[in-house]
Structure 1
Amino acid sequence: MSGPLWTRSEIEAATGGRVGNGVVTASGASIDTRTLAPGDLYFAINGDVHDGHDFVAGALDKGAAGAIVSSDKAALFNSSDRLIVVPDVLEAMRRLGIAARARSKAKIVAITGSVGKTGTKEAMRIALSRQGKTHASVASYNNHWGVPLTLSRMPREAEFGIFEIGMNHAHEILPLTAMVRPHVAVITTIEPVHIEFFPSLWGIADAKGEIFSGIEPGGVAVLNRDNAYFERLRAHALASNAGRVIAFGEHETADIRAERIIVKPDTSVVEARIFGQPLVYRIGTAGRHIALNSLSVLAAAHALGIDIALAALAFGDLKPPVGRGERTILSIGDADALLIDESYNANPASVRAALSNLGAVELDRKGRRIAVLGDMKELGKEGPALHEALAAEIETNQIDVLFAAGPLMENLVARLPKAKVAVHVDSSAELVDAVCAAIRPGDAVMVKGSLSMKMALVVKALKEKYGASHSATALKG
């Protein structure tokens, strides 16, 4: 049986805080009382929407091992002996995360990229878990609070640690990779995501390349050989402490190379060469982009010196999470329709991939491919053109009907035949009734848009109206 995640003396030494007499040990860490488990340390972070200090009493009532609070708010909770009082709560969590990394003997993988971070992290988690105790970020905990929180939760006995690192401005990755100190750093790809905040795609590549500044001496950089910015990223890697670069992709010079990718309705098959050696494996979800990113996982496995064949075998268990490709069967009368939930977020690359997956669904002669799309945000002056360019993807993937929400989608709507556009409105809420009324037996509907567009409202309504059945397989003709 493993010991506590944190002892009282470790908490005190790491945070530099004044520790109450009631704090003994902690078994976890939390910033959200809704998911807090008894024994967790609660960090009362002052966020964009809520001040965590408003929930300290609730955290303690739920059995928190202690609450880390700011010194200027401590007087509000004088009745409790389970306080850790610090000058700055977020800084205390950062320091606890650094302490977790310092004591850990785990091999650490850090993942960034314009798209595919979370999916690659999940594939990495499944692959490494087969070969040792693995700790990984939950959801998309990849920012200035998500990374230190994930670090602070890392068990001392972990053999592998996987950390997703995100950004939407330059220099945001620098402090995060300095905390994580990866042995392997993966960049999935460079695409025009958050381009509003950068002068060019070169700027995005340079910002992603910051991940190598924290790499451990002799570490390995894993890069997408197919991406136009490979050489620029390679230069960043070679200027760091990285000992070597492993390239993945379909390019003939890639070290981990896909020779053939077969995308089926609900699975993908990859025929690859790993440093010249053949390997064939199946992935338990559909998508060409997922298959390509699986190569980066194998590259990391090679860098870590673990069994690559066993890592590839684990991909059969990979399933798309809610909002990122989850497939659900909808019951419409005596027949079914397919819902593909891609509602978590959107950018040009991920929308293209989602439309490609929808295009791969096999339908009977009466079924239709329906795309429900919301605006892609943070694209700056390129926004109109990038939305307009989706028209080619709609045609290529034989999308029959489009439901669109948001002002930027007007640029796509204007490029499509009027018969193909069912509705164009301002918000996702206005789409709900129209989409629910339009779905027919045999249809396949895919929902996607930037997080602020709240496209999940459409998904929720479809599931509620048509009695969703999870773990769906695609419709087939």
Structure 2
Amino acid sequence: MSALWTAEEAQEATGGTGPTGWSATGVSIDTRSLEPGDLFVALKDVRDGHDFVAQALEKGAAAALVSRRPEGVAEDAPLLMVDDVLPALEALAVAARARAKAKVVAVTGSVGKTGTKEMLRATLAAFGTVHAAEKSFNNHWGVPLTLARMPRDADFAVIEIGMNAPGEIAPLSRLARPHVGIVTTVAAVHAAAFRDVRGIAREKASILEGLEPGGTAVLNRDIETYPTLRYRALKVGARTTTFGAKGRPPFRLVSARISGATTVARARIRGHRLMFKLAAPGRHLAENAMAVLAAVEALGLDLAQAALALGHWQAPQGRGARWRVNLGEAALDGSIVLIDDAYNANPTSMGAAFEVLAAAAPKHDIGRVARGRRVAFLTDMLELGPKAAEFHAELAQHPALATCDRIHTAGPLMQALHHALPHDKRGEWHGEAEALARRAGRLLDAGDVALVKGSKGSKAALIVDAILKLGQATAAHEPDDEEP
């Protein structure tokens, strides 16, 4: 494997000092996932990375980026010494971006960032080598880490950019210097840090601050705050293209039909018809795909080829991934379909998840309960500000819940939804996700389709784990996996 960073290149980029002669094939901030040959970056976050430098070197790290020599590390160890590790990582990011030939797409939005990033990864792979962020590495260290890892010969790079407070997106966009900037949507997420949704829109629109000259803004035409996004695009001199389902945006979603575990979408792109398929269910996913196609056009690539490539994308774990959990040996006791959407939640994404659950088909006459059911396990949506309880209660009014048989909830905020639900749909409420996870096996039966949705901080993933452990779990990809 060719060198990603030589000692001399890393020293020149960061202004650091130390031994030469080493070269790194990757960059890591976690000894648990570190590969031999990585440059270990001793960031200070929940833990001080300096405490793990010795372990990183023992595991085969080529060198370590540090601001001091940790105790127990030899004098001649390959250390790249800098004044402050995070700015040094940012300097590596700047250098990596400067030497790259890759076309860069940056993605932000209140909902759909990671899914859209992964769609772009799958789609652009049809045209060349793609580098993209791992997981949701989209914050003040995740973006520079992603850039610092960018291979010299990558054809495309997809950078996800998130935020928790005002002023976070623009500096990360300036690091990434994207050729295309996408705003998937704007909603009342992280509302506690903003006065109103327009404030959130202004922050999301700041992803355009780092656009390369002649760059393209891809904006959601359907949302109320589109004028705010459009104003920022005009201010920075970006070319603008829009997507949506209302009116006549150049990238218009005409219809999205959910069939089992797939979505068949029909679109009109600048007046021309296009049909494509996604190996995951959800109208919201088809809407995100329209943003992907708009980015593909902005990069000068073939839309028909991109539409075919979209069919290879599958929802990532925690973001709509589907599992078939076989009960008993060889599934003799039937099975449960699990929709794992446990990574994050807000009112907008909850509604989209309810629609996916409504479109799923339970199986009848195979379990203790004769009729298969649609069952939701929901945990708190976090960072919604002073109206959080009201937002939770309003979920009861979502029309897709009419098809749901039982809704179980966990967390203090979800108690508001629990009380707002009709009695015939009201399931169990528990104060914590752990308690609901312990009950999951008793609340499900063969033939059921289960949705698990909640914010990462409210530990919805514990319920996913509990359901997966009920039997043998396999990925459910095929449309007929859920036919009655």
Question: What interval of TM-score do these two structures reach, taking the shorter chain for normalisation?
Answer: over 0.9
Q: Which residue of 2 aligns with 1:260?
A: 255
Is residue 332–residue 440 contact of structure 1 (8 Å, CA) maintained in 2?
Answer: no
| Counterpart code for 1:144 | H
Is residue 355–residue 400 contact of structure 2 (8 Å, CA) maintained in 1?
Answer: no
Taking the TM superposition and a 5 Å limit, the aligned residue runs for 1:290-305 are 290-305=285-300
The answer to whether residue 277 in structure 2 is matched with residue 282 in structure 1 is: yes
Q: Which residue of 2 aligns with 1:134?
A: 130
1:356-380 CA distance string (max 9 Å, x none): 1001001234111000000101111
Query: C-alpha distance in 1, partners of 2:212/2:422?
Result: 54
Q: 4+ runs of 1 displaced by more than 3 Å?
A: 73-76, 394-397, 471-474
Q: Which residue of 1 aligns with 2:24?
A: 26
Query: C-alpha distance in 1, partners of 2:194/2:114?
Result: 22
Q: Which residue of 1 aligns with 2:452?
A: 447
Identity %: 45
SS in 2 for 1:320: coil
SS in 2 for 1:418: coil
- Give me the TM-score of the superposition, normalised by structure 1: 0.96
| Counterpart code for 2:298 | A
Q: Which residue of 1 aligns with 2:368?
A: none
Query: C-alpha distance in 1, partners of 2:271/2:470?
Result: 51
Is residue 337–residue 475 contact of structure 1 (8 Å, CA) maintained in 2?
Answer: no
SS in 2 for 1:110: strand
How many residue pairs are counted as aligned between the two chains?
A: 472
Is residue 408–residue 427 contact of structure 2 (8 Å, CA) maintained in 1?
Answer: yes
Query: C-alpha distance in 2, partners of 1:435/1:418?
Result: 20
Deviation at 1:471, TM superposition (A): 3.3
Q: 2:64 aligns with which of 46, 56, 67?
A: 67
| Counterpart code for 2:326 | S
**Where does the alignment leave 5 or more consecutive residues of structure 2 unmatched?**
365-370
**Where does the alignment leave 5 or more consecutive residues of structure 1 unmatched?**
none
The answer to whether residue 37 in structure 2 is matched with residue 39 in structure 1 is: yes
Deviation at 1:66, TM superposition (A): 0.3
Deviation at 1:406, TM superposition (A): 0.8
1:294-347 CA distance string (max 9 Å, x none): 000000000000111111101111111111111111123421111111111111
Deviation at 1:466, TM superposition (A): 1.9
Is residue 118–residue 164 contact of structure 1 (8 Å, CA) maintained in 2?
Answer: yes
Taking the TM superposition and a 5 Å limit, the aligned residue runs for 1:13-412 are 13-21=12-20, 23-47=21-45, 49-71=46-68, 73-74=69-70, 77-242=73-238, 244-333=239-328, 334-365=333-364, 366-393=371-398, 396-412=401-417
Q: Calculate the aligned-residue CA RMSD, in Å.
A: 1.4
Query: C-alpha distance in 1, partners of 2:7/2:303?
Result: 40
Query: C-alpha distance in 2, partners of 1:360/1:319?
Result: 17
Query: C-alpha distance in 2, partners of 1:175/1:204?
Result: 16
* Cα distance change on mapping 1:430 and 1:191 into 2, 3 Å: same
- Give me the TM-score of the superposition, normalised by structure 2: 0.95
Query: C-alpha distance in 1, partners of 2:413/2:309?
Result: 40
Query: C-alpha distance in 1, partners of 2:231/2:129?
Result: 33
Q: 1:468 aligns with which of 466, 470, 473?
A: 473
Query: C-alpha distance in 2, partners of 1:398/1:471?
Result: 22
1:243-292 CA distance string (max 9 Å, x none): x1000011222011111211222111111111111111111111100000
1:20-43 CA distance string (max 9 Å, x none): 24x421111000011111111000
Query: C-alpha distance in 2, partners of 1:436/1:52?
Result: 39
Query: C-alpha distance in 1, partners of 2:325/2:103?
Result: 42
SS in 2 for 1:263: strand
Q: Which moved more, 1:193-202 or 1:434-443?
A: 434-443
Is residue 139–residue 161 contact of structure 2 (8 Å, CA) maintained in 1?
Answer: yes
SS in 2 for 1:411: helix
